[in-house]
Amino acid sequence: QQPVQSPQAVILREGEDAVINCSSSKALYSVHWYRQKHGEAPIFLMILLKGGEQKGHDKISASFNEKKQQSSLYLTASQLSYSGTYFCGTPDGYGGATNKLIFGTGTLLAVQP
Amino acid sequence: NAGVTQTPKFQVLKTGQSMTLQCAQDMNHNSMYWYRQDPGMGLRLIYYSASEGTTDKGEVPNGYNVSRLNKREFSLRLESAAPSQTSVYFCASRSSTYLYSNQPQHFGDGTRLSIL
């Protein structure tokens, strides 16, 4: 079952912050985050594993709360290069015996000058 | 560094025609995937191959077949194309067999397929 992302779209000015949420109705063991620019392939951002960890990548960070079955992606002081569609992906299965990664419907982020 | 290579990049078919989309990776990855991307639907998994010699259905397998030819190559076949299969198709690969490990998926540039 596809994870649910919110919001569907967000428009920012350069320097503003944004949060993108990813929720699942099933127990989560890990969450993947990818960004896709228009007409290009998705590019990997980060993976969060079970344990409630928070990771960072430049000014993009994420948290993972397995009890709430959700992850949030934080974009701080956004830059024009952050524009694109952000996808979260979650394993579709139980325990570690799965190799199916199911993606959400995406969040379109537009950063304006 | 080629990574994941998909061919062709663009294709136009008529309803009922057949076609095979090719995908090859040079990273010695175990797992390979085929996704389709439609506006507002995100990336939907069609088929995947956890390792050489195995294939499994994803979310939307109807109308497609796959072949894991060897460790490098994973092809997607449309036996009788339908307009509903108009989409952008992405192939991806991943090193680990299980999703617990912190190994990302690497995507190809996509094949844009139109069926008239």
DSSP B30-53: SEEEEEEEETTTEEEEEEEESSTT
- On whether any CB of chain B is under 8 Å from the CB of A101, the answer is yes
Flag if A87 and B42 touch (Cβ within 8 Å): yes
Structure tokens at B44: 């939907």
B17 touches A: beta carbon within 8 Å: no
Please tell me the predicted confidence (pLDDT) of residue A96.
47
pLDDT (0 to 100) of residue B44: 93
Task: Give dist(CA A53, CA A29) in Å, integer.
Answer: 12
Extract the residue ranges of chain A whose pLDDT is less than 50. Answer: 96
Tens digits of residue pLDDT in B52-99: 889 999 989 999 999 998 999 999 999 999 999 999 999 999 987 665
